[in-house]
Amino acid sequence: MRKKIIAANWKMNMLVSEAEAFLHTFMHEIGGENSVEIVIVPPFTALSRVSEILGRDQKAKLGAQNMHGEKSGAFTGEVNAAMLRELYVRYVVLGHSERRTLFGETDEIVNHKVRAAIDAALRPIVCIGETLAERDAHQVEAVLRRQIEGSLHGVNARELAEIVIAYEPVWAIGTGRTATPQQAQEAHAFIRRTLSELWDAPTAEKVRIQYGGSVKPQNAAELMRENDIDGALVGGASLDPRGFADIVKAAAAL
Ligand code: 13P
């Protein structure tokens, strides 16, 4: 059984004071819930404080939204894996579609970051997903396969088992337009089949595949009930501590 993983991608939101208030309410709401893995992914500026609040046992784990693939050097404005590790970050989101489209990240760049993250014992959450134009042109499978091959090049089976893949159809992000459970399941099943082909079936069975794109308390359960949907990467709805707790509870109740 794959343990469900629910992550709050706060994107460019949340002052430190707001993060503190969020955690106060959220931790209270989820109580002793531990059947689901929870990851809080704040902006860099709030990582340190959120890390302190979550403490060493990290009932909710800490994630970062991005990192650079090099170990150090003249890369103004960037942070490396060791800087994240120092703050007890466990997960790092790589290749989010906003990074791909707004900041020019290619599969090759994402792949370099994936390698650096694994080598630093950070677990990558690798985002893939098609645009609306690609879906309309019936290219979903080709796009997903290309992104998997490109972003995960050189990863071995043992490493793959630790990676989380987030299927985030670009047309569903921040639009209020969610993929139907059937559309999402189809894509997730295709992703798992592709992993099985490129690596092996037992490893593919272990990889957790999150869905992301307008996930809300109202639609979380029907999405996560699908066989190959192992959790959610939540943007907008993760800014509300009660709403995000409801999504976690929906996953726990499945
Ligand atoms: P929304 O939940 O706001 O659509 O964002 C999804 C996302 O991009 C999570 O990484």
pLDDT of residue 215: 96
pLDDT of residue 175: 86
* Statement: residue 56 has pLDDT above 80: no
* Mean pLDDT, rounded, for 227-254: 97
What percent of the chain clears pLDDT 70, i.e. is strictly above it? Answer: 100
Find the 219 Cα to ligand 1 centroid distance in Å: 14
pLDDT level of residue 77 (50, 70, 90 thresholds): very high
Domain boundary assignment for the chain: 5-252
Q: Is 96 a catalytic residue?
A: yes
* Mean pLDDT, rounded, for 21-47: 96
pLDDT of residue 32: 87
pLDDT of residue 142: 98
What percent of the chain clears pLDDT 90, i.e. is strictly above it? Answer: 93
- Is domain 5-252 classified as CATH 3.20.20.70? yes
* Any atom of ligand 1 within 6 Å of the Cβ of 66: no
pLDDT of residue 1: 83
* Mean pLDDT, rounded, for 88-106: 97
pLDDT of residue 58: 77
DSSP per-residue codes, the chain: -PPPEEEEE--S---HHHHHHHHHHHHHHHTT--SSEEEEE--HHHHHHHHHHHTTTTSSEEEES---SSSSSS-TT---HHHHHHTT--EEEES-HHHHHHS---HHHHHHHHHHHHHTTPEEEEEE---HHHHHTT-HHHHHHHHHHHHTTT--HHHHTT-EEEE--GGGTTSS-PPPHHHHHHHHHHHHHHHHHHS-HHHHHH-EEEEESS--HHHHHHHHTSTT--EEEESGGGGSHHHHHHHHHHHHT-
Instruction: Identify whether the C-beta of residue 231 lies closer than 8 Å to the C-beta of residue 5.
Output: yes
CA dist 132 → 32, 38, 72 (Å): 40, 29, 37
pLDDT of residue 173: 87
Find the 154 Cα to ligand 1 centroid distance in Å: 28
Find the 98 Cα to ligand 1 centroid distance in Å: 10
pLDDT of residue 138: 95
Say whether pTM exceeds 0.85. yes
* Any atom of ligand 1 within 6 Å of the Cβ of 9: yes
* Statement: residue 132 has pLDDT above 90: yes
pLDDT of residue 148: 98
* Mean pLDDT, rounded, for 243-250: 98
For a mutational test of ligand 1's pocket, the pick from 5, 6, 11, 40, i.e. the residue with the most ligand atoms closer than 8 A to its C-beta, is: 11
pLDDT level of residue 183 (50, 70, 90 thresholds): very high
Candidates 227, 223, 228; CA nearest to 247 is 223
* Statement: residue 234 has pLDDT above 80: yes
Higher pLDDT, 174 or 118: 118
pLDDT level of residue 227 (50, 70, 90 thresholds): very high
